[in-house]
Amino acid sequence: MIPDDNRFESDHEQALPDDTPLPAGWEVGGPDPEDPGDVDQLATLLHNHEAGGRGWGSSGADEVLVEISEHGIKMRENLVIRDPEGSIRAWGSVHDRAAGRMMFIHIVDRDLTGSVADRCSTVLFDWAEAQARQVGEARGFDPQQIDTGAFADDERQHKWLENAGFNRVRTWWQMSRPVTPDEASLVPSPDSWENGGVVIRLVEREGSGMPDENDLRALHEVIEGAFTDHFNHREETFTEIVHRLLEDPGHRWDHWWLAEILDSGTPQPAGALVGSLSVSDDGPNGSYVDYIGVLSNARGRGVAKGLLRTIIADAAARGRNRVGLEVDADSPTGADGLYTSMGWETRYVTESWHKDIPVQ
């Protein structure tokens, strides 16, 4: 399930102006996913970026490889900036996420200050805008949106984004809920259970362990249908979304659930939850809700609550101590009310920043 070939410009010289503002001896290029030194340096950059923005870092080599490995770059391109000693001091990554939407990671070494840091930031933005024009032209979108993020308290990042012409457009609550062992009995079985004409079950898998394609397509249709009216939703094809979710280091097929309505006798997909493993370096692991969606004609029947109870029970049965998720702080759906009523609390806050890039 691999999407079309990379739509980005892989030649860094073609994607940057001739007069980059870097100091003498500094160079741009691509990271080497086969070089443990490059992977370690990027993992340190990412970890320190998180620690500087929210107070702690959690990402490591697995998250870096999502961006730079041969599998990851089917939909991505990367740029690194090295100092005269060859150390990586800044990193940009672009992701052809969906039609008209390009994600952008912008990281500058927290130890860099003043004009050198500002110059590195400028190079990353120049490169990202060139890549946006490239992917926008390839997909036939004009303008092409760049979608990047920042921690709510990261004033350093905010300054650079504002100076580069980005607008803060949305706030997101990153929520977590503790899980206790007794909650394994919240539902009869996380594998499959039924209540009031609604069945919640894991996606079926074949003898090889791979999931049933019909179930995956049903899950994709539910997610697309449930999120059509949500903020900045851009359609992802079946291949795109499955490929992207498989890249998650925490991906597990036995964390994907479908909810079906039995009113007509034939089960009709009505809800879906895609979960994943959330690894902890210093304690029990957790689970994470990557997606939860319910079709409009099934709302009010407890489908969302049933799906959430299922992943909580599953986490408890696996000996995990938490379930995390992200919620749109400005959503009119009132989803945050459901989450808080079920015990979720905001752990930290992130923001979306956008810029539309003319392609022609």
Domain 27-171: homologous superfamily in CATH: Gcn5-related N-acetyltransferase (GNAT) (3.40.630.30)
* pLDDT (0 to 100) of residue 124: 97
Identify which of 14, 40, 41 has the alpha carbon closest to the alpha carbon of residue 28.
Answer: 14
* pLDDT (0 to 100) of residue 4: 54
Average pLDDT over residues 48-77: 89
Average pLDDT over residues 212-233: 87
Least confident of 102-111, 177-186, 199-208: 199-208
Q: Distance between CA atoms of 135 and 102, rounded to whole angstroms?
A: 8
Instruction: Give the tens place of pLDDT for each residue, 75-95.
Output: 899 999 999 999 999 999 999
- Give SS3 for 292: strand
Please list, in sequence order, all residues whose beta carbon lies within 8 angstroms of the beta carbon of residue 18, skipping any fewer than 6 positions away.
Answer: none
Mean pLDDT of the chain: 92
Whether the predicted pLDDT of 54 surpasses 80 = yes
Band of the pLDDT at 300, cuts 50, 70, 90?
A: confident
Consecutive H or E run containing 200: strand 198-202
Whether the predicted pLDDT of 1 surpasses 70 = no
Whether the predicted pLDDT of 10 surpasses 90 = no
Question: Which parts of 44-166 are beta strand (E)?
Answer: 76-82, 88-98, 101-108, 144-151
Average pLDDT over residues 9-21: 85
* pLDDT (0 to 100) of residue 335: 79
Average pLDDT over residues 166-187: 97
Alpha-carbon distances of 32 from 7, 38, 62, 121, rounded to whole Å: 20, 6, 14, 21
Other CB atoms within 10 Å distance of the CB of residue 326: 14
Band of the pLDDT at 333, cuts 50, 70, 90?
A: confident
Whether the predicted pLDDT of 325 surpasses 50 = yes
Whether the predicted pLDDT of 2 surpasses 50 = no
* pLDDT (0 to 100) of residue 7: 87
Contact 347/175 with Cβ under 8 angstroms?
yes
Q: Distance between CA atoms of 7 and 137, rounded to whole angstroms?
A: 9
* pLDDT (0 to 100) of residue 5: 66
* pLDDT (0 to 100) of residue 313: 98
Least confident of 10-24, 155-169, 183-197: 10-24
Whether the predicted pLDDT of 282 surpasses 90 = no
Alpha-carbon distances of 6 from 71, 142, 358, rounded to whole Å: 11, 19, 20
* pLDDT (0 to 100) of residue 175: 97
Buried b / exposed e along 180-211 (16+ C-beta atoms within 10 A): eeebbebbeebeebeeeebbbbbbeeeeeeeb
Average pLDDT over residues 48-74: 89
The CATH class of 180-320 is: alpha beta
Instruction: Give the tens place of pLDDT for each residue, 234-274.
Output: 778 888 888 888 888 899 999 999 999 998 778 999 999 99
The alpha carbon of residue 204 and the mean position of all alpha carbons in its chain are separated, in whole angstroms, by 25
Whether the predicted pLDDT of 352 surpasses 70 = yes
Average pLDDT over residues 20-33: 94
**What are the residue ranges of CATH 3.40.630.30 in the chain?**
27-171, 180-320
- Give SS3 for 85: coil
Q: Distance between CA atoms of 94 and 131, rounded to whole angstroms?
A: 8
